Chain A
Amino acid sequence: MSVAPTGRTLPDRQQSRVARALRSWEALLLVVFIAVFTINSFASPYFLNAWNLSDATYNFTEKALIAFAMAMLIIAGEIDLSVASIIALASTAMGLAMVAGFGTPVLVLVGLGAGLLCGVVNGVLVAGLGLPSIVVTIGTMSLFRGLSFIILGDQAFTAYPADFAYFGQGYVWWVFSFELVLFAVCAVLFYALLHRTTFGRAVYAIGNNATAAQFSGIRVARVKFILFLLTGVMSGLAAVCLTSRLGSTRPSIATGMELEVITMVVLGGVSILGGSGTIPGVVLAAFIMGLVTFGFGLLNVPGIVMSIFLGLLLIGVIALPRLFQTRLLRRV
């Protein structure tokens, strides 16, 4: 098509990238992160210690693995409440494989495979049949963990092979644990996937307006299906790490973790209504949640009090900018 240029050329952007970055949600999170870090280092003498800090990362690495995939799913306008139950089922599957005498490589494959399979179930129900994801995954949340209860009852798998412990307890180099390195690698991969690929662009388009995306030739159902698979696999991966770290499987493993994952995603600036959010935001939110947990732990504050703080943080960080905005736009 060679239509003669008639109009004027539009500039590429309205404000410089630096100006944009400074006003972003991520910048606000970075400030919070620095504040939490500083307060913690003054509050406890044990805080600024490489090994202690390294230990603290276990507070968030497994959740963050799922949060990356969950962030993409929520940006696309869907949600998966069954992730913690996928961990339970994947962990149970690994336990069965272990009892059957398989070695560590097979256990890992079984864990990932079980996660993938759970993702397929969610994907077929939501993307294939067009059912609302929030209800479907409340159902599969009961179903997946329910299966684990049927298999295990009040029993537990404990006799995992010694080399299996590496994923949740091993160190790659110095203070850098396997989980921390895995977290970093996944952060980079998910950053590239969401922010640099055509697939990631489709995710944003679907989250902002699924109908218009479909009318633009985007295969909406396929993208959503893949996102559920991805969330399933990442939950399977988290199951490998968590099972390895705990060295045992009980059907109640990771209970309630879905809510912590979603809190992490929302705190990271992902809109629960879909359409916006970034991986760097989720990474920062993971660090903040990890540091808060660790700092409170050093001060002997019980875990549940920390959850109050996280609840307040979740509502606060979303409410404050909104209150500010409504004040400005009151007359509209």
Chain B
Amino acid sequence: MTLLKSREALLALAILAMTLLIAARFPAFVRPNNLAGVFNDTSPLIILAIGQMIVILTKCIDLSVAANLALCGMTAALLNGAGLPVVVSVGAAVALGASLGALNGVLVWKVGIPSIVVTLGTMTIFRGVIFLMTNGKWVNAHEMTAPFKALPRSILLGLPVMSWLAIAVIAAFAVMLTRTALGRAFYAVGGNPHAAVYTGINVGRTQFAAFVLSGALAGLVGYLWVARYAVAYVDIAGGFELDVVAACVIGGVSIAGGVGSVGGAVLGALFLGVIKNALPVVGISPFWQMAISGTAIILAVAFNASQSRVKGRIILKRAEV
């Protein structure tokens, strides 16, 4: 089996072991209802991690996802407040997210600014724009229509719509990444940009596409976030971009580009989600969560590096495979 698959299997095992350990003392944690709740609670992180993974595959990073999310969520809430139907609000959030992603992408592709600088800049700009739109005021529950707030929670075949959306995104992106030319191009661009040019792949345009996808997913999550918590303000999901990057790193996505999978990103997000939901159950103060996820990131990156460490060339005959 390939290295990548075994890496994901290991992560899945770690999550399973952790869950069983908790279940040994607190059986309630593994009741299907509760597990579904954990998945639902982690859905936004899962969706964003998939988008971030694609960006990281192409040797870039998108630090503006959380700010993008906040801006799109606010826009959806304001449009909804202005009387537009839910579908239009959600569509607008996704479209706006994609456009904001496109803005990042253009700056990386056409202007050639490193993505970390671009998204560092746009993350402050996006948050600032929310302030300009609202003058710093909150949009509260009573300013949103009932269907707007209800959609993510409404139950379909036993699961909330938000969970179904996460599942749909997982499925769609798994197919896209493995079965389409664009999907394979993301890996090619990050794995060997020089060779990608010789293959007829436009590196900048592929990075642009990654930012657009990441942005669109951020827009979708923006709506989900605002509707779920029934509130929108400048600072929602503040610092969440780091959780998203953390989920990718824990999921085995290489920051150097070209290595990663949807499965890994989902598992990385679930790992963080299980910890977050388990802490109150096992009676550890939620203040521990940050240190734990930090430790997990460091262990994950150390593990990934030890797996992919390059050994010297194999020249000696007896050592040859």
Contacts and interface: CB of A to CB of B under 8 A. Distances in A.
Interface string A289-332: 00000000000001011011011101100110011001000000
Contacts of A145: 290
A129 B305 CA distance: 9
Interface string A16-60: 000000000000000000000000000000000000000000000
5 contacts: A132-B255, A141-B242, A142-B297, A153-B285, A302-B131
B285 A143 contact: no
A323 B129 contact: no
B290 A312 contact: no
A93 interface: no
Contacts of A307: 124-125, 127-128
Interface string B240-260: 001001100100000110000
B285 A150 contact: yes
Interface residues of A, number: 45
Contact of B120 (A130, A136, A141, A262): A262
B255 A150 contact: no
B246 A139 contact: yes
B287 A150 contact: yes
Contacts of B292: 146
Interface of A: 125, 129-132, 134-136, 138-147, 149-150, 153, 251, 255-256, 259, 262-263, 266, 272-273, 302, 304-305, 307-308, 310-312, 314-315, 318-319, 322-323, 326
Interface stretch (B23-31, B108-116, B224-232): B108-116
A305 B128 contact: yes
Contacts of A259: 120, 123-124
A251 B288 CA distance: 12
Given A138-B242, A142-B291, A153-B285, A272 B124 contact: no
A272 B116 contact: yes
Contacts of A255: 239
Contacts of B239: 255-256
A139 B124 contact: no
Chief secondary structure at chain B's binding surface: helix
B289 interface: yes
Given A149-B290, A153-B285, A312-B125, A272 B114 contact: yes
Nearest to A125: B298
In order of increasing CB-CB distance, the 7 nearest A-B pairs are: A146-B291, A142-B294, A308-B128, A143-B294, A146-B290, A139-B297, A311-B124
A256 B242 CA distance: 11
A143 B288 CA distance: 9
Contacts of B255: 132, 134-135
Q: How large is the interface on B (under 10, 10 to 19, 20 to 34, 35 or more residues)?
A: 35 or more
A319 B239 CA distance: 26
A322 B111 contact: yes
B259 to A, nearest CB: 12
A140 B111 contact: no
B145 interface: no
B111 A323 contact: yes
Interface of B: 61, 107, 111-114, 116-118, 120-125, 127-129, 131-132, 136, 234, 239, 242, 245-246, 249, 255-256, 285, 287-298, 301-302, 305
A146 B111 contact: no
Given A272-B114, A302-B136, A304-B234, A142 B128 contact: no
B242 A142 contact: yes
Contacts of A318: 113, 117
Given A142-B246, A319-B111, A153 B301 contact: no
A132 B111 contact: no
Contact of B302 (A125, A140, A266): A125
Given A135-B255, A153-B287, A307-B127, A314 B120 contact: yes
B267 to A, nearest CB: 17
Most buried by B among A153, A314, A322: A314
A129 B302 contact: yes
A311 B121 contact: yes
A275 to B, nearest CB: 13
A138 B117 contact: no
Most buried by B among A129, A136, A273, A315: A315
Given A312-B125, A322-B113, A142 B107 contact: no
